[in-house]
Amino acid sequence: MATKLIAVPKVSQRPFSPCRRRSTGVTACASRETNGRDNYGGRLVDENMIVLRLRIREMKMLETDNEANRLPSEWMEWEKQYYVHYIEDVFEGIGLLQNYLMNTRPSVALGFLALFMLSVPISSGFVLFHVLETTKQILSWLYLMTL
């Protein structure tokens, strides 16, 4: 969006007065339009946010290394090793998703969000329906066995 400012000289209050003032004809123009040269169309901010997120993740990973020594003692060794890599994998997946969604149109990103928000309740309802059907079958079988 471009903002332009144009200054035009004022017309005197009394245009037909006996004392004529000489107009200087000053016109000033200013524009805030950068044509995407300064901030690269917003990409620079997005890339810096990704870099910031990666740095925060690295700092959290350093904290996680310290937390790995404080994991519950009943965990097996492979669980302790995988726990650290699990957090790395989750952060990497979120970073990839963020990078992908930042490079898509907003409507596509909102479409993915809507798809995800609808798929979770639908799949949960599907599982609940099958659990109820299985329970009804077992209860009817038990009822027939008691007769």
23-77 confidence digits (pLDDT tens): 556 665 555 555 555 555 556 666 677 778 878 878 877 776 665 567 778 888 8
Mention every residue, 6+ apart, whose C-beta is less than 8 A from residue 88: 61
> What element of type H or E holds 52?
helix 43-68
Residue 4's pLDDT band, with cuts at 50, 70 and 90, is: low
- Alpha carbon separation from 94 to 55, 76, 80 (Å, rounded): 14, 27, 22
Residue 117, pLDDT above cutoff 80: yes
- Cα separation of 78 and 82, whole Å? 6
Between CA 29 and CA 98 the distance in angstroms is: 41
The pLDDT tens digits of the residues spanning 120-143 come to: 899 999 999 999 999 999 999 998
Residue with more model confidence, 23 or 85: 85
Beta bridge partners of 7: 28
In this prediction, residue 126 carries a pLDDT of 94
Question: Pick the residue with more confidence: 8 or 133?
Answer: 133
User: CB–CB of 88/61 below 8 Å?
Assistant: yes
Domain boundaries defined on the chain: 39-105
Q: Which two tokens stand for residue 84?
A: 């650290």
Q: Measure the CA–CA gap between 147 and 136, rounded to whole angstroms.
A: 17
The pLDDT of residue 131 is: 97
Segment 80-102 shows an average pLDDT of 82
